[in-house]
Amino acid sequence: MRQVGAVLAPPPRGQTRIRVRAQSRLAGRCEGLWWRRTDRRELRRVVLGAKRYELATRAPGRRAGFLHPIGGLNHVVAMVAVGLWGGILGKPALWLLPVTFPLFMALSGVAGILQLPLPGVETGIAVSGIVLGLCVLLIARPPLWAAMAIVAVFAVFHGYAHGAELPEAANPAFYAVGFVVATGLLHLTGIAIGMMWQWQAGRIVVRALGGAIALAGAAFLTGIA
């Protein structure tokens, strides 16, 4: 705090006020033209800005991890499809599928962070949209273990992609928490829509979304999108 005060304090007596830079007026108001006293409000802004910077740099990976699944449509459609499919299958798949996906995604995310080889990641992500979308559209009802296996296999590709794109400045643990939380919210979105399955009109909506997801996956696979 003393250092901040020393920078913002007026010049000693006997010294003339000088410009910070000769071209300050042209460079902008942010530099200021003269040394002057700083009131409490301005000093509070400086301290508050420092605190915000400290909080932002303390765990830089959390926000990046949270935004990564949401920022990619190929991730969004597959994760929503898991919730939709769970809504069609009902309990216990309604909750087991959304739990299986982030679990295997987190495990494969570690492999991505460690840069372990995994071929066909982008292809697997695109195919996940096609397969999961078709499962919703065609009302696929495989055994529970088979549905969980399908979800787990595709979760590996999504998780690996998240881990492999870990920012250099990010904390791996916070980054993983971020993308797992975002994935869970996307699953819940799919579950909420999938609950419409109990109504006839809702079934049309759910199946239509499944078809749209499958088409989106095909677009990703062919490079159209």
The domain spans of the chain are 2-58, 60-222
Return the pLDDT at 20: 47
Residue 192 above 50 pLDDT?
yes
Return the pLDDT at 37: 64
**Continuous H helices in 30-92:** 40-58, 60-71, 73-89
Residue 129 above 80 pLDDT?
yes
* Higher per-residue confidence, 7 vs 10: 10
- Closest by CA to 169, choosing from 13, 42, 65, 43, is 65
Residue 109 above 70 pLDDT?
yes
Mean pLDDT value of segment 137-144: 95
Return the pLDDT at 39: 67
Residue 209 above 90 pLDDT?
yes
Q: Tokens for 88?
A: 């069609």
Cα separation of 206 and 137, whole Å? 8
